[in-house]
Structure 1
Amino acid sequence: MRLAGSHPQGDPKTAPRVAVVGGGLAGLAAAVATVDGGAQVTLYERGPRLGGATWSFQRNGRWFDNGQHVFMRCCTEYRAFLDRLDVADQVTEQSRMSVAVMRPGRRPARIFRTGAPVPLHLARSLLGYNPLSVADRLRAIRTALALRRLDPDDPATDEVSFGEWLRARGESDRAIAGMWDLICLPTVNLRANDASLSLAVKVFRTGLLDKADAGDLGWTRVPLGVLHGDAAARVITAQGGDVQMQAHVEAVGDGPSLMVDGKRVETDAVIVAVPHDAVDGLLPPGTVPGQSELADLGISPIVNVHFVFDHPIMGVPFTAALDSPVQFVFDRTDAANWTEAGSAESDRGEQVVAVSQSAAFDEIGSRPAELIERYRSALEDLFPLAAGANVIDAVVTREHRATFAGRPGTQRLRPGPATAVDGLFLAGAWTDTGWPATMEGAIRSGNLAARLALNHCRDMAVSVPDPSSDGFPKPRVRSEPSTTEQERMSA
C-alpha cells in the first residue's frame, strides 16, 4: 500500500531525496523533519501500520492501543512533535503531577508535587506517603537529594544497577518496590534491581528533580495510532512525501542505496529507524560501531490486558498499584469510543480499562485466558466496584520486543546517529539519546538523524559529481564520523 503526496514543497528534480526505513515514532519524526526541511521523502514501513509500538486496532466496535503510554512535561521534543502534527488538543496534560497509588483493602496513596520550588515540591508527598514507614520516607528524601548530584552521562553510573545503588544508601526492599520501582518500571521497562543507574538518574533528575513541573504527566484521549501514525502520514504526504506500507527493505548499502522488494533504489540520504536487533541484518558489516554487539542490548517485553466492563469501576484516569500483580491501570473509555468525528464518551455506560505490565518477562508466555483471569481478579481486589461488574470483552496484547533492556553496561552499546557509510544515519529509542527507550527518546533520535541527513544533502549539493557515477557524487566510506558531523552531533 502506498500513500503518495501530491503537493511537494519544492521542485522534485532538485529537492534532495531522503529515504526513511521504519515507521515507528523515530522514523515518523525523521520523515516529518526531513520533509519540513524541503527533502523529497519516502518512508518505508514493513508492516501494515505506522507508529511502531504505539499502534491501535479495532475489535467489536472499539479501539484498543497495543500498549499504554504517558509522557511528561520534560518531554519537550515529543510535545513539539504533537504540535507539529496538529494533535496537541487530543492529549490531556496535568497542571501538577499527581499519581494515585492503589492497594488492596487500603485507602489510596498519592505521589504528587506542590507549587514549591525544587526540591521542596516533592517534600510533602514523600513525608505523607503512607505505603512506606516514616524511616523509609525520610531516607527517600535524602536519596532523592543524592540522585540530584549524580551525572547520568558519567560512564561509572552505567556500571552498577539502580537497585544496588539504592541499597548502598540504606533503601529497604519495601521502599524500592513501593516507590522507586513505580517510576523506574514504566520509564526504563526494568525493575530497579535490573536497571542501569545511569538511566534511572536520567529519569529521576530530568523528570522529577531538575525542574518542579517536569514530571507533570500527559496522555492521549484518542487511539495512539490516530495520534501518531495517521497524523504523521497526513503531514508527510501533504508536503509531497511518499509513505509505502508493507514495503520490504532488504538491504541498505553504499551510495547510499536500498534494495526494496528486489529493486535497487538510489537516494541522497538514508535514515534507518528499525529495532536494534534488525540493524545487523540490514546493513553491511562494520557500518555501525559495535554492530555485532547490538544484540547485547537485549529486550524487555510489555504485556497489556484490556477489559470492557459494563459499568465504571475506577474514578481516576490512571493509577499505580502496590501489593498486587497489577502495575498500572488506565481508563481508556474515551479512546476506545473514538470516531472520525472526534472523541466521544461511551453512551453505553461501560468502562474500558487497560492493565499495563512493564518488564513482563514472567507474563509474556502465559496464555491469554490465564492473564485475563489473573488480572480480572486483581482488579476486583483493587476496585470493589469491579466485583459486581460484568466483563463484556477482554483482549491481551503483547510486545515481545518492546524496548531494549537498559541494564548496567548498555550505555557503551548504544551507537550515535552517524555510520561508516556517508549519507546513512541511524534513529531509534535504542540509539545514544541519553534517554531510556521512551517516546521522547525516539522522537529525539529521529529529529537528530533528520538534521544530519539534511546537512549531508546540503553538503553534497556543492560537491563535484564524478563523471563515472552518472551524475551522483562518489560515496565516501569512513570508519568514524567526520569532524563536521561530530560537531553537529554535539550541538
Structure 2
Amino acid sequence: MACRVAVIGGGWAGLAAAVAGVQRGAQVTLFEMAPQLGGRAREVPVDGLPLDNGQHILIGAYRHTLALMRTVGASPEALLLRCPLALVYPDGSGLRLPPGPAIPAFVRGVLAYPGWGWRDRASLLLAAGRWGASGFRCAPHASVAQLTRSLSPAVRQQLIEPLCVAALNTPTERASGRVFLRVLRDALFSGAGSADLLLPRASLGALLPAPAQAWLQSRGATVRMGQRVQQLQREGSAWQMEGQAFDQVLLATSAREAARLAQPLAPAWAARAAAFDYEPIITVYLRCPGARLPLPMMALQAGPQAPAQFVFDLGALAGDRGTHGVFAFVISGARDWAALGLEATAEATLLQAQAAFAPGTWPVVPTVLRTLAERRATFLCTPGLDRPPAAVAPGLWAAGDYVEGPYPATLEGAVRAGQAALAAALAG
C-alpha cells in the first residue's frame, strides 16, 4: 500500500514536497488555507495586472528549483530571462560579470568595475581569495560587516550591502557571515552560469504554483484549497487529520503556523520555530507610460531618504502582460520603512525614482500604482541563528526555508527543504 502523506502548506516548499512524494509513489494530499498556492511567492492581481506580492528573482545556482519547474512542465527558458549578473546603477557604475568560467569572470568583472580605484579592486580580490582558501567558511558568530571590514568603503557600499540585503534580507551588521559566504560560493564560484540572473517573464503563479497544481492533480494527488488544518492527532501508527488518516505529515507552513500545530506534540521544537524574528520586504509599484530603463533590473543607492535597493522594468520583462510602463521598486530589510507606513514609503520611493535617473527617463511624472508589504517576508538571518531541525516528532516533519540548513530564506532554500523533508519522511 502506498504511503499516505499529508503536506500542510502550498508554498514552494510544500509544492516541492508534494511533487517529490508523487514521484516516489506516495499517496499525497496537499492542504492550503489560502485560496491560491504559492505562499510568500504568489501572484497578486493589481488593477487587472497579474503582478506579484513582491519581485522575486532566481539565479543560475538554483538548480533544484529549475529542475522542479521542468518536472511540472514550466520551462525556465520560456518563463525566465537569463542574463549575466549585472548590478548596475543609473549612472552606469556597477559590477557586470562576463560570460564564462566563474572565477575568471569574477576577476574580470571586478577589474572592469567603473569608478573603483586599484585599492578597491585589490581589497575585494584579496578578500575573495581568502574566503576561497578557507572553503567559504568563517566563525559561526561573525556578521557580514565583520567579515568584510577589510574591504574599501566603496566596495562595501556599492557591492556587499546590496548583495547581502538581496540574498539574506538582513542588513550587513546583523547578517550571518557564514550564510553569506555560502551564497557567494554557490552563486559566484560554483560554475559557469551560476551567478546568472533569472528574471521572471511571467507571474510567480505561472512559474511554479499553477503548473505544479495541474501536475499533481493529473497524477492522482489531492489538493484541498481554502482549508486550514486545525490540529494534528496521533492514533496508533497513523495521523488523523480533517477526517483522514495519514502515515506521514509534513508541515510546509510558515514557522509560526508550524509551531502552532506542533506545540501539543513537540513543545520544545515549537518554541524554537516560534522564536524567529522577521524582516519585511516592501514593493512599490510605479506607473509611468512610455518610460523604459536601460536594463530590466537595476541597482539603486539606498539611504535615509531613499528606500529601494533595486528596480525592475516589468514592461521589459513581461510587456505582454500589459505591464509596459510599470516598475517594481524593491525595499529589502524594510523594518524601519514599514514602521513609517506604506504611504510615506511610497512617497519617498517616488522621489527616489525621479532623482536617481537622468532627465528624460520619465516622460511624465510617475504615479504610485500599489504598495505591497510582506511583513514576515523572511526570517532575520543573524549569526548563530538557532534553526529547528526538519524532524519534529515520529512521522511529523517540517519543510520550510527556516529549518536547519545552509541557505537563507530563498525560493531555492524552500524547495530544497521540501524535497529533503519528503525524502526523510519516506525513509523513516
Within 5 Å, give how 1:36-435 maps onto structure 2. 36-88=23-75, 89-94=77-82, 97-103=84-90, 107-115=91-99, 117-151=101-135, 157-167=139-149, 170-254=150-234, 255-260=237-242, 264-285=243-264, 287=266, 290-322=269-301, 325=306, 326-333=308-315, 344=320, 346=322, 350-383=324-357, 384-391=359-366, 394-410=369-385, 413-421=386-394, 423-435=395-407
Matched residues, number: 421
1:221-261 Cα offsets, whole Å, 9 max, x none, are 1110222221111111111111111211112243442544x
Structure 1 gaps of 5+ residues are: 1-13, 338-343, 457-491
What per-residue deviation string (whole Å, max 9, x for no partner) do you get for residues 251-306 of structure 1? 2243442544xxx4321111111112222211145637643233333111111001
Question: Which residue identity does 2:79 align to in structure 1?
Answer: V
Are 1:453 and 2:425 counterparts?
A: yes
- Once residues 263 and 272 of structure 2 are traced to their aligned partners in structure 1, the CA distance between those partners, rounded to angstroms, is 14
C-alpha contact 1:157 1:196 (8 A) present in aligned 2:
no
Report the Cα offset of residue 387 of structure 1. Answer: 4.1
Runs ≥4 residues deviating over 6 A: none
- In structure 2, distance between residues paired with 1:283 and 1:120: 48
Distance 1:183 1:258, change over 3 A: farther
Conserved in 2, the CA contact under 8 Å of 1:257 and 1:266? Answer: yes
The residue identity in structure 2 corresponding to 1:304 is T
TM-score w.r.t. structure 2 length? 0.91
Identical positions, percent:
28
Amino acid at match of 1:400: R
Structure 2: how far apart are the matches of 1:323 and 1:17? 49
User: What per-residue deviation string (whole Å, max 9, x for no partner) do you get for residues 303-323 of structure 1?
Assistant: 100112111231311111125
Q: CA–CA distance in 1 between the matches of 2:329 and 2:367?
A: 16
State the distance in 1 between where 2:154 and 2:94 align: 16
By how many angstroms is 1:428 displaced? Answer: 0.5
* Partner SS, residue 171 of structure 1: coil
Listed one character per residue, the Cα deviations across residues 437-485 of structure 1 (whole Å, up to 9, x for unaligned) are 11111000111112222334xxxxxxxxxxxxxxxxxxxxxxxxxxxxx
Distance 1:57 1:132, change over 3 A: same
Show CA shifts across 1:316-336 (max 9, x none). 111111255220001223676
- Alignment CA distance shift 1:252-1:69 (3 Å): same
Determine if contact 2:88/2:96 at 8 Å carries over to the other structure. no
Measure how far apart 1:79 and its partner are: 0.6
- 1:110–1:125 contact (8 Å) kept in structure 2: no
Q: After TM superposition, give the deviation of residue 202 of structure 1 in Å.
A: 0.4
SS of 1:146 mapped into structure 2: helix
Q: Spell out, residue by residue over 1:22-60, the C-alpha distance to the aligned partner (whole angstroms, 9 max, x if none).
A: 111000111111122222211111112210111112222
TM-score (norm 1): 0.80
Q: Give me the CA root mean square deviation.
A: 2.3
Deviation at 1:183, TM superposition (A): 1.3
Which letter maps to 1:199?
A: V
CA distance in 2, matches of 1:295, 1:135: 45
Alignment partners' CA distance in 1, 2:125 and 2:78? 36
SS in 2 for 1:204: helix
CA contact (8 A) 2:286 2:327 kept: yes
Q: Deviations over 1:348-379 (max 9, x none)?
A: 9x411100111111122333332222111111
Inter-partner Cα distance in structure 2 for 1:133 and 1:191: 25
Partner AA of 1:150 in structure 2: S
Q: Distance in 2 between matches of 1:309 and 1:336?
A: 15
Is this contact kept in 1: 2:309–2:330, CA < 8 A?
yes
Residue of structure 2 equivalent to 1:465: none
CA 1:378–1:258: 2 relative to 1, 3 Å: farther
Kept in 2, the 8 Å contact 1:47–1:245? The answer is yes
Secondary structure of 2:370's partner? strand
| CA distance in structure 2 between the partners assigned to 1:331 and 1:319 by the alignment | 9
- Taking the aligned partners of 1:49 and 1:258, their CA distance within structure 2 comes to 25
- The DSSP-based 3-state class of the residue aligned with 1:147 is helix
Match of 2:8 in 1: 21
Q: 1:455 to 1:217 in 2, by over 3 A?
A: same
Assess if the C-alpha contact under 8 Å between 2:291 and 2:363 holds in 1. Answer: no
Inter-partner Cα distance in structure 2 for 1:58 and 1:115:
36
In 2, Cα distance between equivalents of 1:165 and 1:92: 33
Q: Distance in 2 between matches of 1:290 and 1:17?
A: 24
**Contact 1:50 / 1:230 at 8 angstroms: preserved in 2?**
yes
